[in-house]
Chains A and B, each alone.
Chain A
Amino acid sequence: MSVTSSQSPESWISSFCSLIGHEYFAEVSEDFIEDDFNLTGLQSQVPMYKDALEMILDVEPSETGSSAISDEEEEEEDDGLLGEEQDEPGRRRTSHETRRHMRAGSDASVIESSAELLYGLIHARFITSRPGIQQMLEKYELGHFGHCPRVFCSGVKVLPVGRTDTPGQETVKLFCPGCLDVYTPPNSRFQAVDGAFFGTTFGCLFFMTFPDLDLSPRSLRHRTAEEDSSAITAQQNNSDTVVTASRSSSLTLPSAPGMPPTAQIYPTRKEEPIILPEQPATINGMATSNVAPGLGKGKIYEPRIYGFRVSERAKGGPRMRWLRSKPLDINEIDESRIWHAKYGGDPDGDPVAPVDETAGEGNGDGDGDGGGEDAVMASVTGQSQSQQTEGISVPAGQGQGQQGAAAATTVAGRRKAPMRRSKGRGRMGEGLDGGGVGGG
């Protein structure tokens, strides 16, 4: 992975990555850049592509080129003597000469900026490749990208992403896996970094590639809380006396009853115990515990005035709670399972059948059959009373067909198709949302 293995310690790439403001960049390996396939299409996006590429790879400029270039090389002396000032209108230049002149004149700045653009675009591709994403993982775990500014995310580590893949549109942003939102980097030095150099794909691909990453902020939460309070006490500490409880309550007399810090309110107010149905281990390949851990009950800011919650119906009442909400029962967003529970069929052809089967299994074999029968009967009773007993699956299927006529089956069929497709495409396909095609 290290670029410096073959090159001098200060290659262009490593010096670029060590510039101030470039802390988010990974060092793209030279192998990656040297593979032409990885550069497909970049030639048309980057001016002075060849020079830029040579600069990135620390190849001595020149040479490799055609005879045209060597011709220019011969003319170089003239150009050098003439300089820019002598570019009088009287003297006609060939297009070649002009280009050559431009290169000689503004070599450093133009090629350098081209090289940066090219490097950025390669970088966006590199970090979605295996070695690249691995390198970003290391940086991520070292906390190079910082933490989410949102209080209820409790310092989840963030990733640099772009909001567009077109260079020159937006600067780099930070994607928080805790709240699935994007933030502006706190330091203004990153305002100069193009978001397209990280790309839109990287953020989510990263967390899909490393589903086992521990995004729970707990370990960190304690630390930040301690930091908070210790910092405050360090600053405020009035000699060595401690503020007693009675004092503080007398201080905040009018508001004392409802005023414990928000974080402490939740545990006590929790209406215990809501027994949740079994939570799936993963949804579409994403660990349930990693699905927006910063959202949901207890992670939403509740506006209060003197300890009383501001009503939703007030003019300035809370209107954005939806943005930070998440179902308590994560099954609610397991859409394919809901769908299949409703319309039949297996999610993705998994051996685990929805609902009925699991209910049956609990009762052992003989009862299991009975349970299954019941469930199926229940769903069928409405329309086809005729079918009874054995051969459950077949009549059930027929019953459904009769009931919804073509509609139900075709919808089911259509739904089935993408699911099968995604199976064929492997993990990646599963993670993608079919609806996106329509939306985009």
Chain B
Amino acid sequence: MEEFASETDSDYTSYWRDWFVSSRGNEYFCEIDEEYLTDRFNLTGLNTEVHYYQHALDLVNDVFDLDCDDEMREAIEKSARHLYGLVHARYIVTTRGLAKMLDKYKKADFGKCPRVICDSHPLLPMGQSDIPHQKAVKMYCAKCEDIYNPKATRHATIDGAYFGSSFHNILFQVYPALIPEKSRARHMPRVFGFKVHVAAALARWQDGVRVEQQRGLREAGVENAAFLEDEGEVADEEDGFGQGGEQGGEDSREGGCRGRWGHGGGEGVKNVHES
């Protein structure tokens, strides 16, 4: 931030936006068109949010020519960054903004999903709130539909409101072809090769939820409700509880047990009769 001040203190004041989006830590931002910034309608309400609004706007638009001391200057620059962020949140849901962000998304400029099963699916920045100063930016993965903290600390301080809570969802509404195929694969914790019971039981329950959801979607005539049945572990093999097919689930589970402890069956039956 220091270098920022010194740099702009020099005569070099043109292309503020250019400089802003290319400076380190601002990789998530795209450049806002000049036309968009100069249209007052797009800035509605921001004058109450941003201090030194007019000066900040001038700075962003490279027409800043106020003679002032360093302190003032710095304050204005802070405001300019804040203003840029807030306009950015509005800009990226416009057609042109979406296209720009889409380019960055395709280049994985926003990083890749840390979840192993998602196989480095590119992320999108998002905010959990549209109100500034509430939450830092988070990263949305369209494959697992979950949100993650950005990897680098320099990104963890960016305000989430500069991207907004709607942008990433709008992107996929506008470009439905980009919706990734969802995968049923999951990580299955194991101990010495055996599934861990609690995790496996939870996985079976979750699979029940999924099957239920898919059934609902099919009945509603929604297409594209299928899941990619691909590599990785699918906990489905033994369906199980909570899906109606309980008997079937039991059978396969029992089959598994029998294979391992074949001779245990008779003993167990006897035991039941005794009790």
Q: Is the Cβ of A260 less than 8 Å from the Cβ of B48? A: no
A17 at the interface (CB under 8 A from B): no
Q: Is the Cβ of B170 less than 8 Å from the Cβ of A413? A: no
Contact-residue size bin, chain B (C-beta under 8 Å from the other chain) = 35 or more
Q: Which of B143, B147, B209, B237 contacts A151 (CB 8 A)?
A: B147
Mask for B242-264, Cβ within 8 A of A = 1, else 0? Answer: 10000000101111111111001
With A and B bound together, what is the CA distance between A332 and B82 in angstroms? 48
Q: Which of B146, B189, B192, B264 contacts A175 (CB 8 A)?
A: B189
B101 at the interface (CB under 8 A from A): no
With A and B bound together, what is the CA distance between A339 and B197 in angstroms? 14
With A and B bound together, what is the CA distance between A283 and B224 in angstroms? 37
Give every chain A residue within 8 A of B130 (Cβ-Cβ). 252, 255, 259
Give every chain A residue within 8 A of B92 (Cβ-Cβ). none
With A and B bound together, what is the CA distance between A322 and B130 in angstroms? 27
Mask for B13-24, Cβ within 8 A of A = 1, else 0? Answer: 000000000000
With A and B bound together, what is the CA distance between A232 and B136 in angstroms? 7
Give every chain B residue within 8 A of A3 (Cβ-Cβ). none
- With A319-B225, A325-B206 already in contact, the answer to whether A203 and B189 are too (CB < 8 A) is yes
Question: Chain B: which residue is nearest A413 at the CB level?
Answer: B269
- With A286-B198, A417-B257 already in contact, the answer to whether A149 and B49 are too (CB < 8 A) is no
Q: Is the Cβ of B193 less than 8 Å from the Cβ of A325? A: no
Q: Which of A295, A305, A322, A418 contacts B213 (CB 8 A)?
A: A322
Question: Within residues 238 to 260 of chain A, which ones have a CB less than 8 A from any CB in chain B?
Answer: 238-239, 241, 243, 247-248, 250-253, 255, 259-260
Most chain B beta carbons < 10 A, residue from A237, A323, A324: A323
Q: Is the Cβ of A259 less than 8 Å from the Cβ of B165? A: yes
With A and B bound together, what is the CA distance between A409 and B273 in angstroms? 9
Contact-residue size bin, chain A (C-beta under 8 Å from the other chain) = 35 or more
- With A313-B220, A316-B169 already in contact, the answer to whether A436 and B195 are too (CB < 8 A) is yes
A276 at the interface (CB under 8 A from B): no
A167 at the interface (CB under 8 A from B): no
Mask for B220-251, Cβ within 8 A of A = 1, else 0? Answer: 10111101000000000110111000000010
Q: Is the Cβ of B206 less than 8 Å from the Cβ of A437? A: no
Most chain A beta carbons < 10 A, residue from B129, B179, B224: B129
With A and B bound together, what is the CA distance between A292 and B196 in angstroms? 13
Q: Is the Cβ of A181 less than 8 Å from the Cβ of B256? A: no
A376 at the interface (CB under 8 A from B): no
Question: Within residues 248 to 276 of chain A, which ones have a CB less than 8 A from any CB in chain B?
Answer: 248, 250-253, 255, 259-263
Q: Which of A181, A233, A319, A325 contacts B115 (CB 8 A)?
A: A181
With both chains docked as a complex, state the minimum distance between the C-beta of A317 and any C-beta of chain B, in angstroms. Answer: 8
With both chains docked as a complex, state the minimum distance between the C-beta of B46 and any C-beta of chain A, in angstroms. Answer: 7
A67-75, A182-190, A356-364 - interface stretch: A182-190
Q: Is the Cβ of A315 less than 8 Å from the Cβ of B179? A: yes
With both chains docked as a complex, state the minimum distance between the C-beta of A304 and any C-beta of chain B, in angstroms. Answer: 6
Q: Is the Cβ of B79 less than 8 Å from the Cβ of A316? A: no
Most chain B beta carbons < 10 A, residue from A175, A284, A439: A439
A411 at the interface (CB under 8 A from B): yes
With both chains docked as a complex, state the minimum distance between the C-beta of A134 and any C-beta of chain B, in angstroms. Answer: 18
Most chain A beta carbons < 10 A, residue from B48, B146, B241: B146
A130 at the interface (CB under 8 A from B): no
Q: Which of B146, B238, B261 contacts A421 (CB 8 A)?
A: B261
With both chains docked as a complex, state the minimum distance between the C-beta of A413 and any C-beta of chain B, in angstroms. Answer: 3
Give every chain B residue within 8 A of A233 (Cβ-Cβ). 133
Give every chain B residue within 8 A of A251 (Cβ-Cβ). 45-46, 48-49, 86, 131-132
A355 at the interface (CB under 8 A from B): no
Question: Chain B: which residue is nearest A419 at the CB level?
Answer: B268
B108 at the interface (CB under 8 A from A): no
Q: Is the Cβ of B196 less than 8 Å from the Cβ of A431? A: yes
B30-38, B59-67, B149-157 - interface stretch: B149-157
Q: Is the Cβ of B45 less than 8 Å from the Cβ of A236? A: no
Q: Is the Cβ of A417 less than 8 Å from the Cβ of B265? A: yes
Question: Chain B: which residue is nearest A284 at the CB level?
Answer: B197
Question: Chain B: which residue is nearest A291 at the CB level?
Answer: B198
Give every chain A residue within 8 A of B135 (Cβ-Cβ). 228-229, 261
The 7 closest A-B pairs by CB, nearest first: A438-B256, A417-B264, A413-B269, A417-B268, A416-B268, A436-B195, A322-B210
A-B contact pairs, 22 of them (CB 8 A): A150-B115, A175-B187, A180-B189, A181-B187, A200-B190, A200-B193, A239-B51, A248-B131, A261-B134, A301-B140, A303-B169, A315-B224, A321-B209, A323-B145, A326-B202, A327-B205, A335-B241, A410-B265, A420-B268, A438-B255, A438-B256, A440-B193
Residues of A participating in the B interface, judged by any CB pair closer than 8 Å: 149-152, 163, 173, 175, 180-184, 186, 200-201, 203-205, 208, 228-229, 231-239, 241, 243, 247-248, 250-253, 255, 259-263, 283-284, 286, 291-292, 295, 301, 303-307, 310, 312-316, 318-327, 332-335, 338-339, 345, 393, 397, 409-418, 420-421, 428, 430-440
Beyond A181-B117, A201-B192, A205-B191, 17 additional pairs, beta carbon < 8 A = A151-B147, A183-B114, A204-B190, A238-B51, A247-B49, A259-B130, A261-B128, A315-B179, A326-B205, A397-B275, A410-B265, A432-B194, A433-B194, A436-B193, A437-B194, A437-B256, A438-B256
